Amino acid sequence: MPSERLNLVVITGSVREGRFGPVVTNWFVEQAEQHGQFAVKLIDLASFDLPLELPSVPPALQPDLPRPAGMTELTRRLRSADAIVIVTPDYNRSFPASLKAAIDWHYTEWRAKPIGFVGYSGASGGLLAIEQLRQVFNELQAHTVRDYVSFPRYYELFTPEGTLHAPEGPAGAAKIMLDQMLWWGSVLHDARRDRPYSAA
């Protein structure tokens, strides 16, 4: 296990006007900081230029591909991550296009790293998006941890100040997921260091 705290990147996946994502992200970041084993960094996709049109040769086949200038910091933060948590709603039974663009513009930045999920939506709590994201990240040779945090009918669960009316259950779910992220993040951190991942 690394002697330093693991770098945990938390991504806000929604970029649309009036989004609730930052509220959920802020709550989860607080849980991760209280956990005490992570150096937590944020990525808000609304802050980056995310072209939907990919180059003719995809990033998976040219990992040194220069990204658009507005994406440089996004790429740097993903590359430095030891573990990644994605905060996502589900839109029309799937995840936001902004999130797919961020994923598809990168490849090695995800590889051999643990991915966790915090979902929110009206009915499913983001589970429809999470299940699809598991398939996407499996293709990218990342490891998605089993447990997750879910907020169905999120608009009833949070106060106007961004706190939870009943925090115990979600806090417990976050702790379980973060413990899994710590284990996988530590193991994969050391593996990448000692035996760089070279499988296609």
190 in any annotated domain: yes
Residue the block writes with tokens 């049109």: 53
70, part of any domain: yes
pTM of this structure: 0.95
pLDDT score, position 117: 98
Does 55 reside within a domain? yes
Count structural domains, the chain. Answer: 1
Nearest C-alpha neighbor of 7 from the set 38, 48, 49, 46? 38
Supply the pLDDT for residue 2: 55
Range of the domain at 54: 6-194
Instruction: Give the C-alpha distances (Å, rounded to integers) separating 185 from 5, 24, 116, 138, 189.
Output: 10, 22, 11, 16, 6
Using CA atoms of 119, 123, 129, 134 in order, give the dihedral in degrees to the nearest 10.
70
The C-alpha angle 50, 52, 58, rounded to 5 degrees, equals: 100
Q: What is the pLDDT of residue 9?
A: 98
Q: What is the CATH number of the domain that holds 13?
A: 3.40.50.360
Per-residue pLDDT of the chain (200 residues; tens, 9 = 90+): 555 899 999 999 999 999 999 999 999 999 999 999 999 999 999 999 899 888 888 887 777 778 888 899 999 999 999 999 999 999 999 999 999 999 999 999 999 999 999 999 999 999 999 999 999 999 999 999 999 999 999 999 999 999 999 999 999 999 999 999 999 999 999 999 999 877 65
Examine residue 76 and state whether it is found in any structural domain, yes or no. Answer: yes
Does residue 33 sit within a domain? yes
Q: What radius of gyration, in Å, describes the C-alpha atoms of the chain? A: 16
Residue 181 lies in a domain: yes
Q: For residue 56, what pLDDT is reported? A: 84
| Positions of E strands within 108-165 | 114-121, 143-144, 149-152
Residue-level pLDDT at 153: 97
- pLDDT of the residue at 199: 63
User: Does 199 fall in a domain?
Assistant: no
171 located within any domain: yes
Give me the phi and psi of 188, to 5 degrees please: -75, -30
